[in-house]
Amino acid sequence: MKLDGEDGVLEHYLIDVDNNLGDLTLVSYTQRLGVLVRLLRDLCQVSGLEQVTVLHLRQCVQHLLTSPVEFVPRHGRKTDDGEKLSVVTVKAYIRVWKAFFSWCYQEELIDINPAARLKHPKAPKRIRPAFTAEHIEKMLAVCDTSTPVGFRDHVILLLLLDTGMRIAEISSLHVSDVHDRYIKVMGKGRKEREIGIYPEMSKLLWKYIHKHRKPDDPAEAALFIGKGQPLHPGGVHTIIKRIQKLSGLEDIKFSAHVFRHTFAKMYLDSGGDLFKLSREMGHSDVNITKTYLEDFGSSEARKDHNSFSPLAGIQIRKGAKRIKASDG
């Protein structure tokens, strides 16, 4: 069976998983599997599914790790000359490749899964960047809330901080998803979840919807509007980058994921439950959420020591008077 092209295995795989993947995730799968097909063809001279071995896949992984890339599909930007994919990005490629071959095996298209023994390269441990209270104050200060655009940007910033939502989730919100105490979000894999919102956030959303939201079509369902039309992920990204420049924070990492990291860190700093955080962030496994604990240092952990110490529920008596040896 041929891997790609009309009636190829890849085409049927993408059709089968389409219902379980969000639009952006499907685009990512298509791109990463397309890279695999090209590498197998150009490096390994392999074009048939049954021909693929784990050695071929390891050769493809090594190529991604060591060879400069001409284009990385991140917001459509071109890479610098000689730039290579990070280990984290290569691991993302491998996850998609593994999912594809696992599907092929389950569908009985192959007798052996060549990706079963394909290992992920070890990525260096990174500190997940997070915004400080000072950073947040500077961002909010550049939003002119007396204008519809400034008020919208102000609300988007606070919603990112209050919920830890992804850019794609923010841009896909509808007015009907906003409730007094929570927001309904369509996350990865088209899984719907509810995220609680702070009371002040609820007020700001109500004011935005009823005063500052100005769609060209009164029947428009999208929550966030830009120039009369629904705001897409690229529009949210542009807003974030503009705020970074205006607030003078160009020397720090600044992205929607940093807002997500900030939400998780502050949630845990405040004593929030890890399992509940995992559900609000839309993680399929609590182990994914545990990665945010890597930045949760001992200095933060000790702050709540008195509240959770085993001694908190014990009536401690003063030590008994020391008995002199001569009294015995």
**51 and 167 belong to one structural domain:** no
The number of domains in the chain is: 2
Instruction: For residue 29, give its domain range.
Output: 9-106
Mean pLDDT of the chain: 82
Distance of CA 3 to the CA centre of its chain: 30
**73 and 160 belong to one structural domain:** no
**69 and 151 belong to one structural domain:** no
Distance in angstroms (rounded) separating the CA atoms of residues 301 and 269: 8
The answer as to whether 266 is a domain residue is yes
Which tens digit of pLDDT belongs to each residue from 182-192? 999 887 767 78
**Burial of 55 per CB tally in 10 Å (0-12, 13-18, 19+):** exposed
Provide CB contacts within 8 A for 195, sequence distance 6+.
163, 164, 165, 182, 183, 185, 280
Beta strands of 108-260 (E only): which ranges?
182-186, 192-196, 225-226, 229-230
**161 and 250 belong to one structural domain:** yes
The answer to whether residue 92 scores a pLDDT higher than 80 is yes
**151 and 256 belong to one structural domain:** yes
Q: What's 214's domain CATH number?
A: 1.10.443.10
Nearest to 236 by CA among 103, 281, 244, 113: 244
**181 and 267 belong to one structural domain:** yes
Distance in angstroms (rounded) separating the CA atoms of residues 259 and 228: 26
The answer as to whether 149 is a domain residue is yes
Task: Please give the structure tokens belonging to residue 107.
Answer: 């569908």
| Model pTM above 0.85 | no
Q: Percent of the chain having pLDDT more than 90?
A: 44
Which range has the worst mean pLDDT, 70-74, 182-186, 239-243, 254-258?
A: 70-74
The dihedral over CA atoms of 43, 46, 49, 52, expressed in degrees to the nearest 10, equals: -60
The answer to whether residue 328 scores a pLDDT higher than 70 is no
